[in-house]
Amino acid sequence: MSAPTTPRSLGRRALLGGASAVGLAVGTGALHEAVAASSRQGRLPATADAVVVGGGISGLVAARKLAAKGLDVVLLEARGRVGGRVLNHHLSGPGTRGATIESGGAFVGPTQDHVLKLAKELGVRTFQEYNEGNSVYVSSLTGRQEYSGTVPPDPTILPDAAVLLSRIDSMAAEIPVDAPWTHESAADWDQQTLGEWIRANAINADGIENLIKSWTQPGFGADPDELSLLYVLWYVACSGNETNVGTFSRNSDTADGAQESRIVGGSQLIPLGLAKKLGDIVTLHAPVRRIVQQHGRVEVHSDRGTVRAKRVIVAAPPPLVLDIDWFPHLPTKRLQLLRHLDMGQLMKCDAVYKKPFWRDAGLNGFGLNDSGAARAVFDNSPKTGEPGVLLAFVGGATWREYGVLPKDQRRQAILEGFAALFGEEALHPIDYVEHDWTKERWTTGAPVANYAPGTMVQFGPSIRKPFGRVHWAGTETSTYWTGYMDGAVRAGERAAIEVAEQLR
């Protein structure tokens, strides 16, 4: 272990201490400035015990855990900010009250124990997503309906939904979350897409496939025909914890589900809080370009300089790992795995209103539409309910249709989609904001990197396998809540434990 220096090796108390240490009473803007100021300025150290590549939640958690063990850690983040796929947006237009909404990951829910525990440690509070009253469903066949519960009462869909969703749950319940490729039907399930399976098993395939699209487009940034069935079943299996088996409804629902709560002040308070505690362990504007393993060391070359370390944790999204120049080359199976893991296509589009007017009409702001730009809609208002915000996830085929339009045309299509669900008032927002994750250089898509058919069985087993002195973090390597903030926390913790064991 290298001689500890302050503050690169912070004391356990500083790293694990509570809210007061982070000072989360201040907003994101002030925290951004504090993180930028406390992050490493000037040259990188020549050596470290461990280098962490990527300052998303996963990398920050890994760095914190290693530093708390007294190890000398350097975290290299490509962007000029931390948080990766988690990003707050401050509304600034008249009447928006300077409220904060999220452009990236936002919701948390039951069994996401690791991110909830972390939020608590950092003094970050959660609040319940508004869920009073009815949801709205618009079908091109049956028109507009208000409903409660998980599945809209569309008679052309209900019989298939009852059968297929419960089959998804029972198939998922058999899948080992740490080795889905070992299931006896893994090869069969992995060679078909979710779409093929729906069409082979539904009475009215079009209806149920359309409904399931409104789950896969926000949840994967993809459509049923792009996703391996085995992968989707595993994703459902991962929607739980060690004592609660994963279920479709825990993944898709607001009440008792992954969309149950949000973070007061925006979810980026979590990575910002972590980075503030890490101080100059964090180096911003430091994209890693080359990783060389030789002579029992790893050299990590970044735009801010080179660090020689005993171990490295890579916590970048899978496709970004391919941009790094590796010596020696990545093992073939890992290379193939990364080449077959594609980020979804997803943007968030938010319309801001003086008040959440839909609530007065007894509606909770959740809506599904089987066509148009706004197919999966949530109430995205801050805790105070002022201003009112409607959020549309535009993902997969819907992104390919509307994501490529000029902004004013997309805005109009989104507002018309909101109006179809919640009435004409939705056409007149006081502000409109959108964020397209496919355009982010250091993410390239969202919310997660997906497995195409055939990938999981052939290449999945290498997902967490260390490559020499290089270990893998990032939400995609988690065995619970993969694709989510909770998965990012769990993966960072697991990778840090692997490295700490090697450096003992």
CA gap 89, 83 in Å, rounded: 12
Please list, in sequence order, all residues whose beta carbon lies within 8 angstroms of the beta carbon of residue 43, skipping any fewer than 6 positions away: 304, 305
Q: Which is nearer to ligand FAD, 367 or 447 (CB)?
A: 447
CA gap 102, 363 in Å, rounded: 22
Please count the CA atoms within 13 angstroms of the CA of 106 that sit on its side-chain side.
28
Tell me the pairing of strands 261-263 and 126-128: antiparallel
Q: Which is nearer to ligand FAD, 281 or 320 (CB)?
A: 320
CB of 288 to ligand FAD, least distance (A): 4
Q: Which is nearer to ligand FAD, 45 or 153 (CB)?
A: 45
Asked if 499 and 66 count as a contact pair (C-beta separation under 8 A), the reply is yes
Provide DSSP, 155-178: TTTHHHHHHHHHHHHHHHHTS-TT
For residue 265, give the nearest of 492, 59, 30, 21 by alpha carbon: 30
Q: Which is nearer to ligand FAD, 207 or 445 (CB)?
A: 445
CB of 264 to ligand FAD, least distance (A): 15
Q: Which is nearer to ligand FAD, 135 or 302 (CB)?
A: 302
CA gap 21, 203 in Å, rounded: 57
CB of 458 to ligand FAD, least distance (A): 23
For residue 358, give the nearest of 187, 160, 134, 157 by alpha carbon: 134
CB of 66 to ligand FAD, least distance (A): 15
Q: Which amino acid is at 448?
A: V
Asked if 126 and 119 count as a contact pair (C-beta separation under 8 A), the reply is yes
Q: Does residue 35 sit in helix, strand or coil?
A: helix
* CA-derived radius of gyration, the chain: 22
CB of 140 to ligand FAD, least distance (A): 26
Say if residue 382 is preceded by a cis peptide, omega within 30 of 0: no
Q: Evaluate the CA torsion angle 251, 257, 259, 261 in order and state its sign.
A: negative
CB of 45 to ligand FAD, least distance (A): 17
CA gap 335, 39 in Å, rounded: 32
Q: Which is nearer to ligand FAD, 52 or 136 (CB)?
A: 52
Q: Which amino acid is at 436?
A: D
For residue 173, give the nearest of 161, 159, 187, 183 by alpha carbon: 183
Q: Which helix (H) or strand (E) holds 297?
A: strand 297-302
Asked if 208 and 161 count as a contact pair (C-beta separation under 8 A), the reply is yes
Q: Which is nearer to ligand FAD, 79 or 183 (CB)?
A: 79
Interface with ligand FAD (CB under 6 A):
53-59, 76-79, 84-86, 104-107, 287-288, 315-317, 320, 324, 346, 348, 437, 442-443, 446-447, 474-475, 483-488
Q: Which is nearer to ligand FAD, 126 or 228 (CB)?
A: 126
Q: Which is nearer to ligand FAD, 145 or 306 (CB)?
A: 306
Q: Which is nearer to ligand FAD, 356 or 447 (CB)?
A: 447
CB of 445 to ligand FAD, least distance (A): 8
- Give me the phi and psi of 496, to 5 degrees please: -65, -40
The full length of the chain comes to 504
Q: Which helix (H) or strand (E) holds 201?
A: helix 194-201
CB of 256 to ligand FAD, least distance (A): 15
Q: Which is nearer to ligand FAD, 55 or 453 (CB)?
A: 55
Q: 């990783």: which residue's tokens?
A: 291
CB of 85 to ligand FAD, least distance (A): 4
DSSP 3-state helix, strand, coil percentages of the chain (rounded to 5)?
A: 40, 20, 40
Please list, in sequence order, all residues whose beta carbon lies within 8 angstroms of the beta carbon of residue 460, skipping any fewer than 6 positions away: 180, 181, 337, 451
CB of 108 to ligand FAD, least distance (A): 6
Q: Which is nearer to ligand FAD, 44 or 86 (CB)?
A: 86
Q: Which is nearer to ligand FAD, 79 or 411 (CB)?
A: 79
CB of 314 to ligand FAD, least distance (A): 8
Asked if 45 and 4 count as a contact pair (C-beta separation under 8 A), the reply is no
CB of 115 to ligand FAD, least distance (A): 7
CB of 119 to ligand FAD, least distance (A): 11
